Amino acid sequence: MTDSPLKIWRECDDRLLRLRLDRPKANIIDGQMIAALDRVFSEVAENPDVHAILLDHSGPHFSFGASVEEHLPQHCAAMLKSLHGLIRKILTCPAPVLVAVGGQCLGGGLELALAGNLIFVAPEAALGQPEIKLAVFAPAASCLLPRLAGQQMAEDMLLSGRSLSGDEAVGAGIARFAVADPAAAALDYYNEHLAGLSASSLRYAVSAARQRFAAAVSADLDRVETLYLNGLMNSDDAPEGLQAFSEKRTPRWRHS
């Protein structure tokens, strides 16, 4: 497929940058999607004309998560480094990032959303980190969720792989607003609360609020990435879980 997986346009006197994941229905976070997003966030860092970013999705689901095939042992090092590089860029983006989530928002898709500043979510959406069901764990979410939702809720999600509804996600502090139309609500929020502000001062405010948070998450990402690549991927069950999923069969756990 040669078409870009990401739609990009400007609104609101060209001050609001709109990004839309555009590989429905799954909007898989694969290498091509990561590269497209990475280019945009790299450019935003150098472009003071961007007042804010609104990230949403085509189709009924935000994202089913990262490409399982790209997480197989022979590919996972490159995949993790590129995904975590993108998450770092979102965390340190000088413009506020508003994320609109509907339907399923899972795995690497939720990790991307969690890196944004504010999440607007449909009440019936499902947000989760199901990686443990494939015998792997979610590196970025392991760094982000404890800081956003607290240790108990983070471990509930990361150890069980269960999903939260949009309403539950707001109650847990993972998302900010549960609304029927997340993208429209995010746009309204921008127009009501951000559009009239000084863009340069808003960037300073983002940096002041996020700098320590982003630095701590980035340092933790180094640790969990090493644990994933040098520990988990040398086990028996992690490669088996990924391979079984790819082959659509029941995994044969060795518990080692």
- Stretch 72-89: mean pLDDT, rounded? 96
pLDDT digits (tens, 9 = 90+) for 192-242: 999 999 999 999 999 999 999 999 999 999 999 999 999 999 999 999 999
Any domain includes 39: yes
Any domain includes 188: no
Whether 255 has a pLDDT exceeding 80, the answer reads: yes
pLDDT digits (tens, 9 = 90+) for 25-79: 899 999 999 999 999 999 999 999 999 999 999 999 999 999 999 989 999 999 9
Whether 2 has a pLDDT exceeding 90, the answer reads: no
Any domain includes 187: no
Any domain includes 192: no
What residue numbers bound the domain in which 146 lies?
1-181+199-256
Q: Dihedrals φ, ψ of 228, to 5°? A: -65, -50
Confidence (pTM): 0.96
Name the DSSP letter for residue 108: H
CB 45 within 8 A of CB 82: no
Name the DSSP letter for residue 131: G
Angle at 148 between CA 168 and CA 223, to 5 degrees: 130
CATH number of the domain to which 136 belongs? 3.90.226.10
Angle at 22 between CA 16 and CA 25, to 5 degrees: 135
Cβ contacts of 204 within 8 Å, gap of 6 or more = none
pLDDT digits (tens, 9 = 90+) for 130-181: 999 999 999 999 999 999 999 999 999 999 999 999 999 999 999 999 999 9
Cβ contacts of 104 within 8 Å, gap of 6 or more = 61, 62, 63, 64, 125, 126, 163
- Stretch 8-28: mean pLDDT, rounded? 97
The CA–CA distances, whole Å, from 177 to 52, 102, 218 equal 18, 12, 26
**Helix, strand, coil in percent for the chain, rounding step 5:** 55, 15, 30
* Residue from 126, 102, 129, 238 nearest 183 by CA: 102
Classify each residue of 36-62 as buried b or exposed e, where b means 16 or more C-beta atoms within 10 Å of its C-beta.
Answer: bbbebbeebeeeeebbbbbbbbbbebb
Any domain includes 153: yes
CB atoms within 10 A of CB 24: 13
Interatomic CA distance for residues 202 and 93, integer angstroms: 12
> What's the number of domains the chain is made of?
1
Any domain includes 88: yes
**pLDDT > 70 fraction of the chain, expressed in percent and rounded:** 99
pLDDT confidence of 3, banded at 50, 70, 90?
confident
Any domain includes 165: yes
